[in-house]
Chain A
């Protein structure tokens, strides 16, 4: 099993540009999470999907952030327009069921200049 796959691994963009982060969860997992990690705030949950349906997006910082899960094997997190304060490592994680461990991807290091 390849694990959770995220792309790109690194993204450098200029303020105001649109950024799209991609995630392929582990096959058979029915829950998908997007987290953001910074030194100041640690790991923050942005949004959670269950069976491809967004269940809780209360962690999404503002309307500039949006996430989709069109099918069980793909999710995107989009930032439009991006700002320097969005610079962070964005992790995608999946799990097979409730009360189970999370499997994290390697993350996307985002730098907004």
Chain B
């Protein structure tokens, strides 16, 4: 069956450090992968999309890698800030529309 697995535990880091989140998937051949941020009581907000032919994508302090051989994406938050504290979700689709989400990793950045 298809599975999307993210870091199983919450991630607590010190301000200024780099947070690295993992998204592993099985039985998918996605054309792209997306990352979202979700704050308590709010809907997910899109952060980045990386396509299968792209190895790395950056946006400000965020960096995403996509390894289709390992079936893994890594999401990095560099120079983390307390405002980065949230739950981060990876999402991918076996086809063009049925976007499925991982369970998410909750990141807490300590000042």
**Stretch of A12-20, A66-74, A95-103 lying at the B interface:** A95-103
B interface residues with partner A (beta carbon < 8 Å): 31-32, 34, 36, 41-46, 49, 89, 96-104
CB of B45 within 8 A of CB of A99, answer no
CB of A45 within 8 A of CB of B104, answer no
| CB contact between B43 and one of A56, A98, A106 (< 8 Å): that residue | A106
Extra A-B contacts (17), CB below 8 Å, given A45-B99, A99-B31: A4-B43, A31-B97, A35-B101, A43-B89, A45-B98, A48-B97, A48-B98, A55-B97, A93-B43, A101-B34, A102-B99, A104-B45, A105-B43, A106-B42, A106-B43, A107-B41, A107-B42
Across-interface contacts of A48 in B (CB, < 8 A) = 97-98
Chain A at the B interface: SS class: strand
| CB contact between A56 and one of B36, B45, B97 (< 8 Å): that residue | B97
Chain B at the A interface: SS class: loop
Residue with the greatest number of chain A CB neighbours at <10 A, chosen from B43, B101, B102 = B43
A76 touches B (CB below 8 Å): no
CB of A102 within 8 A of CB of B46, answer yes
Across-interface contacts of A99 in B (CB, < 8 A) = 31-32, 96
Question: What would 10 A/B residue contacts be, using CB atoms closer than 8 Å?
Answer: A42-B102, A43-B44, A45-B100, A50-B97, A91-B44, A99-B96, A101-B46, A101-B49, A103-B46, A105-B43
